[in-house]
C-alpha cells in the first residue's frame, strides 16, 4: 500500500468522522442485461461473481483496506475487543456421547481457536485424553473439526475436517486407543453424516462429484456410498443415486441395532422428504421405497425390529410420532404413538425405554417424555426459560445428556435419568460477568396484518426503560423452519454492559410455531417476514425503548436477506444495518453451490410468477438512487461456499454507487479464510464481533 493511498484513506476516515463525504474505492460497471420472462434486468457488477479473477481479488483488498482502517478508528473498537476477549475466555463443553466403555466430548478451553475432541472413561473424567486437536492442523486456526461419529464399540471414530470455513469436509478414520489415523481418506463430502456399520468395518456416507470451482460451482447428483475401512475411496460401493433427479439430496443413517440402512431423500430445504431403507441382514437386499410421496417430513427415531418410529408433520403441522411396521407399510396401517400438541415438537431421542421429546413453547424449550407406546412418562425440568442445544443418548443407554442455555447463561451440561426425569449438573462454565445483573422478558406485538409475534428483550436490570431511549440491537432470522430461541453470546453481553438493549423477535418463516408458521413466511408470503421485523422495530420505538437514530439491525444468511430487504424497503427506520453472509441477489442465488436447494423456500426467477415477488424484495434490485440508507456494514467470507460471497460484493458496490460516505457510510468487510460461519476460529470471531458491535454502537449514539 503506497503512501499516497494511505494518506487518501486517512483523510477519508477523518472526513467521515467529521460528517463530510469521502470517496469509496472505484468499482467499474459493465453492460450486462438479462431478460427474465420478458423483463429486462441490469446486472452491472456481474464481474464481481468471478471469485477467481485478479480484478475481483484486488477489489476485495481495496475495499478491506478502507473498511478495516475505518473500523480501527472507531472509539469503542478496542474497548469491545478487550472486553470480548475477557468474556470469551471460558470453557465451552460439548455434550458427551457414550460408545462401548468410553465417553467422547469436545471442549474449547478459554481462547483456543478450535474445540478439541477428548475421550475418557466417564463424562469429563479426570483420565480424559486428547483424541484430536484441530488447533495443531493449521497455524491460523482455520482448520476445524466439523463432525465426528463413533463406532459401536467405541474403538474407532470417523471425523470430518473443514478448511477455511468451507462446507466441504474431508473425512478420515482414527483408532481411539492409539489416536492414530488409518489410511482412509474420503473427499467431496458436504452435509453428510458418517455411519459405522455394527461391526465397525465399514462406513456409509453421501458425496458429490468432484467440483472444478468448489467455492462457486452448483452441487448436484448427490450419491450414497459404502466405504470399507482400509480401502481407497475409488473402490467405494455405490449404494443409491438418481440420475434423473440432479437436485435430490441423500442422508443415510443406520438403525442402532445395525440391521437397517435408512435413507432420507430431500429435494430442497422444505420440511418434506421420502424414505427408503435397506435390510443389511440379507445379502444383496434391495432398496425398499417405504415413503414415496412428497408433502411431509419424516425423521427416523428408532426401531423395534421391523417397526420404525418417525417424527413427522404429516397431518400434524406441529409434529407427532408414528410407528410404521415395514411388513405392513401402507399409510392406513401406520399407528400414532404420540399425538400433536399445542407445543411444537422439534426433536425426539429414544433413550433407554423412553422417548425424550423436545418441544417449543413460545420459542423456549420444554422436555416431555413418553413410553415407547406413547404413554406420558413425565417431564424433565429445565433450569429456566432457555434452549436445549443438544441431547445425547440411545436406546441402549441408561442416561441422557443435554445442554441448556439462556441469553445470560452460557451452555451448561446436565446428566439425566430418563426414567425419573432427574437431572444433575456436570459441566458449568464460569464467565467473567454476573448473570443476575440482567433480565430477559418476552413481549408480543402485532405485525402489519395483525398476527401476534413474540419478541425477547434483554437488558440490564434497573435501566430507565420506556423513559429514556437506549441504543438497541435488533436481530432476527425468519426462515427455513429454524426457530430463534434464547442463546448465549459474549457479544450480546458486551453490548448490554455498555447500556444497550438486545431484542430478538420470532418472525414468520421460522420454526417457532410449526409448519403453518413456516409456510406463512415462504415464497410469495416472504413479505410477511419483512413486515414482522419492521413491526418489531416500530414497536420498540413506539414503546420508548429506542428511537430510529439509536436502532441497529443485524441478521446472517437468510437473516442477511432479511436485513437487506428491510433496509431497502424502510431505510428511514434504522440507523445501522449489518447484513451478514446474506442471500442478496434473489434472481441468481440458485446458480451457485447449494443455492438450488433453497428454491422451495424462496421460489426461483426461472418461474414467471415467482419472478415478480422476488424482484419486489430482492435487496440488490431495490437499491435506489436518491434514498438515504442506514450506515451499513456488509459482512462476508471469501471462502463462503454456502451463500456465495458475490451476493455481498454486488450489494455493497450498488449501495456505494448511490450513497455518499457521509455520516452513514457503506462498507464491506470480507474476512479471509473463513466461510459461512461454522468452524471460524475464536480469534477471528472476536475480531469480527468487535468490529460489528463497535460499528453498531457508534452508529446508534445520540446525534448532536
Alpha carbons 680 and 688: distance in angstroms, whole number: 10
- Catalytic residue, candidates 423, 557, 605, 654: 557
Here the cell at position 29 is 460497471
CB within 8 A of 400, min separation 6: which ones? 349, 351, 356, 391, 392, 393, 415, 416, 418
Task: Count Cβ atoms below 10 Å from residue 402 Cβ, excluding itself.
Answer: 25
Whether 676 is catalytic is yes
β 501-505/472-475 pair status: parallel
What percent of the chain is helix, strand and coil (3-state, nearest 5)? 25, 35, 45
**DSSP strands (E only) in 410-568:** 412-417, 422-427, 438-446, 452-460, 472-475, 501-505, 551-556
Tell me how far apart the alpha carbons of residues 349 and 354 are, in angstroms, rounded to a whole number: 8
Backbone dihedral region for residue 674 (phi beyond 0: left; psi -120 to 50: alpha; all else: beta): beta
The number of angstroms, rounded, from the C-alpha of 353 to the middle of its chain's C-alpha atoms is 32
Q: How far is CA 337 from CA 205, 374, 377, in A?
A: 30, 4, 13
Please answer whether residues 520 and 441 qualify as being in contact, where contact means their C-beta atoms are separated by less than 8 angstroms.
Answer: no
Burial class (CB in 10 A: 0-12, 13-18, 19+), 127: exposed
**Could you tell me how far CA 458 lies from the centroid of its own chain?**
22
193 is catalytic: no
Gap between the Cα atoms of 257 and 71, Å rounded: 55
Give Cβ neighbours of residue 569 (< 8 Å, ≥ 6 apart).
530, 534, 617, 622
**Residues 6+ positions from 178 with CB-CB distance below 8 Å:** none
Cα–Cα distance measured from residue 160 to residue 194, given in angstroms and rounded to the nearest whole number: 9
- The C-alpha atoms of residue 346 and residue 67 are separated, in whole angstroms, by 41
Beta strand 354-361 with 472-475: parallel, antiparallel or unpaired?
A: unpaired
C-alpha–C-alpha distance, residues 447 and 565, integer Å: 16
**Integer Cα distance of 271 and 510 in angstroms:** 12
Residue 663 backbone class (left: φ over 0; alpha: ψ -120 to 50; beta: rest): alpha
Question: Exactly one of 368, 518, 590, 676 is catalytic; which is it?
Answer: 676
For residue 170, list its beta bridge partners.
161
Q: Which residues are catalytic?
A: 557, 676
Amino acid at each position: 500500500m503506497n503512501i499516497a493511498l494511505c494518506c487518501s484513506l486517512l483523510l477519508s476516515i477523518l472526513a467521515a468522522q467529521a460528517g463530510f463525504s469521502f470517496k469509496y474505492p472505484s468499482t467499474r460497471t459493465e453492460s450486462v442485461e438479462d431478460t427474465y420472462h420478458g423483463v429486462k434486468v441490469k446486472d452491472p457488477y456481474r464481474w464481481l461473481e468471478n471469485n477467481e479473477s485478479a480484478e475481483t481479488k484486488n477489489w476485495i483488498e481495496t475495499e478491506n483496506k478502507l473498511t478495516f482502517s475505518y473500523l480501527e478508528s472507531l472509539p469503542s473498537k478496542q474497548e469491545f475487543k478487550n472486553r470480548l476477549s475477557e468474556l470469551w475466555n471460558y470453557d465451552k463443553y460439548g455434550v458427551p456421547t457414550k460408545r462401548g466403555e468410553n465417553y467422547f466430548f469436545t471442549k474449547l478451553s478459554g481462547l483456543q481457536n478450535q474445540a478439541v475432541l477428548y475421550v475418557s472413561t466417564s463424562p469429563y473424567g479426570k483420565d480424559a485424553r486428547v483424541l484430536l486437536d484441530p488447533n495443531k492442523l493449521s497455524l491460523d486456526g482455520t482448520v476445524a473439526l466439523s463432525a465426528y461419529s463413533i463406532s459401536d464399540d467405541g474403538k474407532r471414530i470417523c471425523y470430518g475436517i473443514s478448511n477455511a470455513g468451507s462446507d466441504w469436509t474431508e473425512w478420515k478414520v482414527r483408532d481411539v486407543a492409539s489416536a492414530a489415523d488409518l489410511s482412509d481418506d474420503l473427499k467431496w463430502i458436504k452435509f453428510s453424516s458418517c455411519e459405522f456399520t455394527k461391526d465397525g468395518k465399514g462406513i456409509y456416507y453421501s458425496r458429490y462429484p468432484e467440483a472444478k470451482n468448489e467455492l462457486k460451482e452448483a452441487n448436484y447428483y448427490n450419491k450414497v456410498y459404502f466405504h470399507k475401512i482400509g480401502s481407497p475411496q475409488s473402490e467405494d460401493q455405490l449404494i443409491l443415486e438418481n440420475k434423473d433427479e440432479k437436485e435430490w439430496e441423500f442422508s443415510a443413517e443406520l438403525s442402532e441395532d445395525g440391521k437397517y440402512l435408512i435413507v432420507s431423500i430431500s429435494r430442497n430445504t422444505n420440511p418434506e422428504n421420502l424414505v427408503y431403507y435397506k435390510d443389511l441382514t440379507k445379502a444383496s437386499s434391495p432398496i425398499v421405497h417405504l415413503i414415496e410421496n412428497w408433502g411431509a417430513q419424516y425423521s427416523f427415531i428408532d426401531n423395534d425390529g421391523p417397526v420404525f418410529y418417525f417424527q413427522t408433520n404429516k397431518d400434524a403441522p406441529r409434529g407427532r410420532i408414528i410407528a410404521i411396521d415395514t411388513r405392513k407399510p401402507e399409510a392406513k396401517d401406520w399407528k400414532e404413538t404420540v399425538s400433536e400438541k399445542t407445543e411444537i415438537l422439534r426433536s425426539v431421542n429414544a433413550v433407554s425405554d423412553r422417548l425424550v421429546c423436545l418441544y417449543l413453547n413460545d420459542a423456549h424449550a420444554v422436555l416431555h417424555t413418553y413410553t415407547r407406546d406413547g404413554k406420558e412418562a413425565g417431564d424433565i425440568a429445565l433450569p429456566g426459560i432457555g434452549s436445549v442445544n443438544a441431547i445425547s443418548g440411545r436406546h441402549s443407554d441408561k442416561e441422557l445428556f443435554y445442554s441448556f442455555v439462556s441469553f445470560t447463561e452460557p451452555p451448561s451440561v446436565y446428566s439425566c435419568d430418563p426414567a425419573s426425569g432427574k437431572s444433575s449438573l456436570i459441566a458449568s462454565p464460569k464467565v467473567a460477568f454476573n448473570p443476575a445483573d440482567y433480565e430477559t422478558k418476552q413481549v408480543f406485538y402485532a405485525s402489519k396484518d395483525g398476527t401476534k409475534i413474540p419478541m425477547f428483550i434483554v437488558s440490564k436490570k434497573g435501566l430507565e426503560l420506556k423513559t429514556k431511549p437506549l441504543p438497541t440491537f435488533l436481530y432476527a432470522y425468519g426462515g427455513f423452519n429454524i426457530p430463534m430461541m434464547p442463546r448465549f453470546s459474549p457479544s450480546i453481553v458486551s453490548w448490554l454492559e455498555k447500556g444497550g438493549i438486545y431484542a430478538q423477535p420470532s418472525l414468520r418463516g421460522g420454526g417457532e410455531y410449526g409448519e403453518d408458521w413456516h409456510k406463512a413466511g415462504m415464497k410469495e408470503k416472504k413479505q410477511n417476514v419483512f413486515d414482522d421485523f419492521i413491526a418489531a422495530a416500530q414497536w420498540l420505538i413506539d414503546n420508548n425503548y429506542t428511537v430510529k437514530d439509536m436502532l441497529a439491525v443485524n441478521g446472517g444468511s437468510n437473516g442477511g436477506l432479511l436485513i437487506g430487504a428491510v433496509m431497502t424497503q424502510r431505510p428511514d427506520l434504522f440507523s445501522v444495518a449489518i447484513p451478514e453472509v446474506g442471500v442478496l441477489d434473489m434472481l441468481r442465488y440458485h446458480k451457485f453451490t447449494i443455492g438450488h436447494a433453497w428454491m422451495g423456500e424462496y421460489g426461483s426467477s426461472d418461474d414467471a410468477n415467482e419472478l415478480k415477488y422476488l424482484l419486489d424484495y430482492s435487496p440488490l434490485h431495490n437499491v435506489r438512487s436518491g434514498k438515504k440508507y442506514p450506515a451499513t456494514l456488509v459482512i462476508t467470507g471469501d471462502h463462503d461456499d454456502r451463500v456465495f460471497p458475490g451476493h455481498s460484493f454486488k450489494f455493497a458496490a450498488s449501495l456505494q454507487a448511490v450513497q455518499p460516505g457521509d455520516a452513514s457510510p457503506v462498507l464491506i468487510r470480507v474476512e479471509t479464510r473463513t466461510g459461512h460461519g461454522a468452524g471460524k476460529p475464536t480469534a477471528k470471531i472476536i475480531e469480527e464481533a468487535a468490529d460489528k458491535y463497535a460499528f453498531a454502537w457508534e452508529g446508534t449514539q445520540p446525534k448532536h
